[in-house]
Amino acid sequence: MDIRGHAAVVTGGGSGLGAATARRLAAAGARVAVLDVNMDAAQGVASEVGGIAVRCDVSDADAAAAALAEARAAHGAARLLVNCAGIGVAKRILGREGPQALGDFERVIRVNLVGSFNMLRLAVADMSTLEPLEDGERGLVVSTASVAAYEGQVGQAAYSASKAGIVGLTLPAARELAQFGIRVMAIAPGLFFTPMMQGLPEEVQASLGASVPFPRRLGKPEEFADLVLTCAENRALNGEVIRLDGALRLPPR
């Protein structure tokens, strides 16, 4: 799909991979709604790209429906949903204080996995009402997994499980939504230079970057955004998770 002139929704669009995606989609001519729990961040990106900012907690059914309604009122139903909202919490299953609190595990699953599904189910309801384009295509959803879905490290049980859930969701969703001409893709990034990483000491950033076979550095958010656009443009991509990691395979710790 040529995204020009179409509406797109980017969750977690106030920062990092989502912000880069919002910029890339706007540059390609999309009308972009930037959804985030952090309204200041969303507003900053939205005003930069000529889009709209909408406050949204992706894990809340009512808030997500209201946010999509607001985006729809401004831009029309979205042809593209990009799920970038996510949290990463490192905690051992059995630490010094005993077993991990169940609430910690639930929260990561709630935001990363339930949140991505929540946005998907609501966005595709809108998409299914749109006029079909070439090949009968109505739209697509691109969610963000992680290489931790495959090689989760010590401390990443909840995060890895949440991202593995996104991997598992991708094919059945693509199969089911094919009848509406809606594609479902996911991207599994390796290590990317986003605010999450920028908070780490420089030598840690450098050593993480050096662990990537090639290119020997952290990924650029723009490289993630480029792949989102490729997913939109290439209709043969469907039901698949693409690793974007410079051949990185995470070690156990």
Q: What is the binding site for ligand NAD (CB under 6 A)?
A: 11-12, 14-18, 36-38, 41, 56-59, 84-88, 111-112, 115, 144, 146, 189, 191-192, 194-197
8 Cβ contact list (under 8 Å, min separation 6): 25, 30, 31, 32, 33, 78, 79, 80, 81, 82
> What's the closest the beta carbon of residue 96 comes to ligand NAD, in angstroms?
26
> What would you report as the CA-atom Rg of the chain, rounded to the nearest whole angstrom?
18
Shortest distance in whole angstroms from residue 189 CB to ligand NAD: 4
Q: Quick check: 14 and 8 in contact, CB under 8 A?
A: no
For the bound state, the minimum distance from the C-beta of residue 22 to ligand NAD, rounded and expressed in Å, comes to 11
State which residue, 12 or 181, has the beta carbon closest to ligand NAD: 12
> Which residue number, 19 or 130, has a Cβ lying nearer to ligand NAD?
19
Give whichever of 84 and 124 is closer to ligand NAD, judged by the CB atom.
84
Which residue's CB is nearer to ligand NAD, number 22 or number 173? 22
Q: Give me the helix-helix angle, 39-49 and 16-27, nearest 10°.
A: 20
- Secondary structure class of 145 (helix, strand, coil): coil
Task: Render 53-68 in DSSP notation, one character per residue.
Answer: EEE--TT-HHHHHHHH
Name the DSSP class of 248: -
Q: Is 44 helix (H, G, I), strand (E, B) or coil?
A: helix
Active site residues: 159
Closer by beta carbon to ligand NAD, 147 or else 182: 147
- Least CB distance from residue 171 to ligand NAD, whole Å? 19
Burial category of 82 from C-beta neighbours within 10 Å (exposed 0-12, middle 13-18, buried 19 and up): buried
Q: Which of 227, 228, 9, 237 is nearest to 135 (CA)?
A: 237
State in angstroms the smallest separation of the CB of 151 from ligand NAD.
12
